[in-house]
A and B are shown apart, each in its own frame.
Chain A
């Protein structure tokens, strides 16, 4: 069964595009056929994060307006077998795509792909409505900051209003050192506030910037902590129950604390 997944957040800059790219690459490495759709029309970015910016011929607006077929627009990633990208249009505006067009496109793509992952623009306007229109489930990306968590809460409300009941949280850019000091909300704090199922955590990691510089998603770097976080999420999307990453376990104090704190 194909899955149409929208990656959304409300707030900008929390890692939607990075998450989309990493999950796409990760799922293709698991042998799945994946197409990523950048719906951020006018602010195209998924192409550069994936390192496919020089290979764009057609874009999302060309597909939905019938200028080309979905197959023609989907750029095949030569490094990762089974990974494709439909890039956003850069020179048009967000109203160039309608909700019905997105629903039709997602239905069509289900015939050819195991996973259709939609990178949603920031905000809650037309671009957001288009991005969620054809989705069966949603991944909400947030960071441990008040502004990002607040926007995530708003997005969860809007997803429920649009009958996307299956939605999961990704907490991105966790800094274990700050969590330990009590200067950053931890996973439990955020889950408690948002009251939503967690699908994964991604620690803050310099490798993300380095890998984005190169256009090679961190999920393929076995040494990257963020890459490990993304690999775990791809496994869970694929139906495998893998344990949550242990951020405390790497330190002496963390180990000590774990020995003494009882599980509630």
Chain B
């Protein structure tokens, strides 16, 4: 189906930025997660990982974002972690 709103409307307009930023900030507001709390989670994840592999502290990136919920529609909070591994410890 031809969607004229896509032709007439420009992409990347400022309301999309507003929506995206709002969604992210509301995840944090609703989850009521403080930076200290998130830091604590980061530290403990690192402790567990350090038992099995050599990971770099600097490249660590753990964030609260949203994911699609089980019903396939609603947005739910999610933790995403991006942790570069230097080497894996072999037993």
A residues neighboring B (CB under 8 Å): 145-146, 149-150, 153-154, 157, 179, 181-186, 189, 193, 253, 256-257, 260-262
Shortest B3–chain A CB gap in Å is 7
Given the interface contacts A182-B13, A184-B15, A186-B15, does A257 sit within 8 Å of B5 by beta carbon?
A: yes
Task: Determine whether the beta carbon of A193 is less than 8 Å from that of B19.
Answer: yes
Contacts of A157 in B (CB 8 A): 30
Given A153-B30, A261-B5: A193 in contact with B13 (beta carbons within 8 A):
no
**What is the CA–CA distance of A184 and B25 in the complex, to the nearest angstrom?**
18
B48 located at the interface, meaning its Cβ lies under 8 Å from any Cβ of chain A in the complex: no
Of all chain A residues, the one with the shortest Cβ separation from B3 is: A261
Q: Which one, A181, A260, A262, contacts B13 given CB within 8 A?
A: A181
Number of B interface residues in the complex (CB < 8 A): 21
Contact check, B26 vs A150: say whether CB atoms are below 8 A apart: yes
Contact, CB under 8 Å: A182 / B22? no
Residues of B4-37 contacting chain A, CB below 8 A: 4-5, 8-10, 13-16, 18-19, 21-23, 25-26, 29-30
Residues of A within 8 A of B9 (CB): 182
| Bound form: Cα–Cα A40–B10 in Å | 43
Q: In the complex the two chains form, what is the Cα distance from A189 to B30 in whole Å? A: 18
Q: Give CA–CA (A186, B19) in the complex, Å.
A: 10
In the assembled complex, the Cα of A261 lies from the Cα of B8 at a distance in Å of: 11
Quick one: closest A residue to B21, CB to CB? A146
B79 within 8 A of A: no
Partner of A185, one of B1, B19, B30: B19
> Which residues in A have their C-beta under 8 angstroms from that of B2?
260
**Chain A residue with the shortest CB-CB distance to B14:** A183
- CB<8 Å pairs between A and B, sample of 19: A145-B18, A146-B25, A149-B22, A150-B25, A153-B29, A153-B30, A157-B30, A182-B14, A182-B15, A183-B14, A184-B15, A185-B18, A185-B19, A189-B19, A256-B4, A257-B4, A257-B8, A260-B4, A261-B4
In the complex, the answer to whether B15 meets A183 with C-beta atoms within 8 Å is yes
What is the bound-complex CA distance between A94 and B15, given in angstroms? 37
Contacts of B5 in A (CB 8 A): 257, 260-261
Residues in A whose Cβ lies below 8 Å from that of B26? 150, 153, 193
B4: min CB distance to chain A, Å = 4
Bound together, the chains give a CA A145 to CA B5 distance in angstroms of: 22
Instruction: State in angstroms the CA–CA spacing of A150 and B18 once bound together.
Output: 11
Q: How far is the CA of A182 from the CA of B16 in the complex (A)?
A: 8
